[in-house]
Amino acid sequence: MAMQPRIITRGSVLHRVGQLVLFGAFALFFVRAGLEGDRTGLGLLTDAIILATAVTGLNLITGYTGQISIGHSAFFGIGAYTTAILVDRGWAHGWTFPIAAIVAFVIGCIVGLPALRLKGVYLALVTLGLAVAFPAILNYEKLADLTGGPLGIKNLTYLPPDWTPFDGRADLHLWLFWLSLGIFLLVSLIASNLLRSRVGRAMIAIRDNETAAAVMGVDRAAVKTVVFGLSAAMAGVAGSLFAIKLTLVEPAIAFFTIIGAITILVAMVVGGSASTWGPLVGALFYTYVNDWARTQGEERSIDGLAGVIFGVILILLARFAPFGVVGLLRKFRARFVRVVPKPPVALAGDLPSASAPAEANPSHASTT
């Protein structure tokens, strides 16, 4: 150890400044992208933000509460289809978002019920079943009046409303970008406030030791069900955005199948599960690396090269960054700076290093 890391207390001025700088850097990145307005580049960034919204939802139930779900593509699809069906029946696009969230919330609560009894891989497989069943249900001919069957629903373009500074169809990509970014920020705010509440502490307690949490008086059933619902609602809103960006929904869309569920899960772990910045970082990483691998495959026109490259990257990442990109950055940061929780008031005079164990497990460690 050549250099001792500098110790910063959580909530101190220095810590706040650090948080602001990080937030500012991200804000600058997005505002710049939004002002430059390159159509293709912005489209890809919008995709990443939509994915990040869904990942934020999954992070609540899987990252923080420890209930593995490989079924979030279904909630994503439910949101998308709710918006599509309502727009098709003449609703204003904007009003379909809360409805999509509510529908996904209710279905999420119902799907969360097995989580009261099933654990780990068993729950994962039941949710995986949901992901597999969803496209089959969309294709089911008796529901074709509602879902449009294999053809799906088309013409969902959401032109910028009059109160926005955007100019109709020409600025459609800008409008979708800012709309997605706004909804992502709202969803992130709800998630981070939830995590700082009593429910948030209950969620983490259930993940770390369910029996102990129950003994301490945590209402496991209520917390699991409601968080499953909220998580589904966030994925649902992401689905709504997805539908209006694509302007159509149909059962064949990969994101509504198990592939979508796996994408959301991989993006979460790749970013760093149970971390504030994880969903955004993971979604950006996933979207851009996947796109890069695809370009490599196309340029060399070798069948399957894109998938092989991406697969190898995932394996290497799992090997060298088991706690995701955020975990890797945190490890790097720990060489220079150590953030410790504020000492309890009664011990305020003590050395801050007394609370060092908080850094022992990186998955629970602090954020900048």
Interface residue with another protein, options 215, 345, 346, 348 (CB under 8 A): 215
Interface residue with another protein, options 42, 124, 153, 205 (CB under 8 A): 124
Using alpha carbons, select from 340, 368, 284 the residue that is nearest to residue 33. 284
Q: Write out the H or E segment, with its range, that includes residue 46.
A: helix 39-58
What residue type is assigned to position 64 of the chain? Y
CB of 348 to another protein, least distance (A): 35
Interface residue with another protein, options 151, 318, 347, 354 (CB under 8 A): 318
C-alpha 112/C-alpha 110 separation (Å) is: 5
C-alpha 46/C-alpha 65 separation (Å) is: 28
Q: For the chain, what is the radius of gyration of the CA atoms? A: 21
**Part in contact with another protein (CB under 8 A); list of ranges 195-203, 240-248, 260-268, 352-360:** 260-268
The yes or no reply on residue 319 touching another protein (CB under 8 A) is yes
The yes or no reply on residue 300 touching another protein (CB under 8 A) is no
The yes or no reply on residue 252 touching another protein (CB under 8 A) is no
Interface residue with another protein, options 90, 217, 304, 357 (CB under 8 A): 304
Of 128 and 237, which CB lies nearer to another protein in the complex structure? 128
Interface residue with another protein, options 109, 237, 264, 317 (CB under 8 A): 317
The yes or no reply on residue 269 touching another protein (CB under 8 A) is yes
C-alpha 125/C-alpha 334 separation (Å) is: 37
Q: DSSP characters for 263-295? A: HHHHHHHHH-TT-SSHHHHHHHHHHHHHHHHHH
Return the axis-axis angle of helices 258-271 and 324-333, rounded to nearest 10°.
0
Measure the CA angle with vertex 345, ends 339 and 351; round to 5°: 50
The yes or no reply on residue 40 touching another protein (CB under 8 A) is no
The yes or no reply on residue 312 touching another protein (CB under 8 A) is yes
Give the footprint of another protein on this chain (CB under 8 A).
Answer: 114, 117-119, 121-122, 124-126, 128-129, 132-133, 136-137, 139-141, 211-212, 215, 258, 262, 265-266, 269-270, 273, 302-308, 310-315, 317-319, 322-323, 363
